[in-house]
Amino acid sequence: MRYRFRLPFMLLLLLLPCVAQAQSVTITGPAAVTPGTIAELTATITNTLTPRAPIILTASATYTDSLGNPQTATATPLSLTIVQPETFSALTMTLPLSLSYVLGSATSSLPVLGTTSAGVLTLSLGGGGAVLTEGQSVAIQFKVQAGK
């Protein structure tokens, strides 16, 4: 009886990585900065899901013609693609003490607000976030300044 919850818990642990890996994040910028300089960085968020197999719908109608003969009419199959959109709303990162976020420097295809609190930079996208379908990306450019 003590093992009753073991299987569902193990299944949850196996499925969590699938859910957590729907988006990838990469950050690019210069390899080095000198104290007092400003560096421009770009964070790119990508929906890494692969498209699901399409659903094929078929239809047919059976009827009797005017001569009393049974007939069948078949529709052309319809293929429905199932998209897997992901909504990205914010990016957070810890800034070391030697770097500070340059206020107002964050830009993207959507309005973006950059805030810092206790050494954590949060870049929030406005307008409900970016809805990314399979393979789509959104980039956020922002600046940090190296300490003196």
- 10-65 pLDDT per residue, tens: 333 333 444 446 789 999 999 998 999 999 999 999 999 988 889 999 999 999 99
Domain spanning 23-51+83-146, CATH architecture = Sandwich (2.60)
Q: Which runs of consecutive H residues, i.e. helices, occur in 51-111? A: none
Q: What is the pLDDT of residue 21?
A: 61
Closest listed residue to residue 123, CA positions, set 94, 101, 95, 90 = 90
How far is the CA of 84 from the CAs of 40, 47, 105, 145, in angstroms? 32, 9, 31, 37
Model confidence, pTM: 0.69
Please give the structure tokens belonging to residue 8. Answer: 């569902």
The whole-angstrom separation of Cα 95 and Cα 103 is 14
